[in-house]
Structure 1
């Protein structure tokens, strides 16, 4: 898991680099979908499971991928997106229940808000309600099959 200061240092480098350059086992960047808030919640649930099964990590929401320049890359997350509601929705849709912590980073006089979803490592395998699971391997979330003993 990356600290808020580590993530802020990486974000400053997005003037000359793309976010994908910094993605790793414990870090991912995702753009917020302004057209469908529910799609963002589903994405958070998938990434919470992926990161938990992969040893924990951070996902920064509100950052465009494959774009350079802070003015272009920092898309943000709407200010009215409620963190406790996100935590509740993720907990309700993961087995066993998983509640990530969130941190906010503000830019451009508080007009751009980024959300950092932090997933602490744990020993349990996690799934979504439908039983599907993914695991973080390098920069990717890959499908994983639970052994018969874990199912």
Structure 2
């Protein structure tokens, strides 16, 4: 059911974000405690601001209220926000745009007994990522197929 809501809302919100030249990063519909949350993450070069989030929220709210049949029959909270500084990398374009950035990846299976890496994304060819990372005090390079990556996001270097 949750995936149906995400699919329906994605179709509804895509024209809204496209109209404003924003990017739809992700839509999620999750239950936390007793409450349901419909979260829409949007972005644009240079970052999204609170007024832009409110504008998309208002337009999406109006469409959801007018939709018949109601795509979300239970009560829920709508949240439209930026994906933040540690934005997830999900689409091919996300990886392409992140070349040169510091990233965090988790793998499905370990490489050299490690499943988590943080480092600079050096290149992405559509199928493989190449990143430089530090292993103790030595700089190393990791080349891994994208289908081996369980999760990836931008990271903040400390």
TM-score (norm 1): 0.25
Which of the pair is proportionally richer in strand?
2
TM-score (norm 2): 0.25
Higher RCO by CA contacts (8 Å cutoff, separation 6 or greater): 1
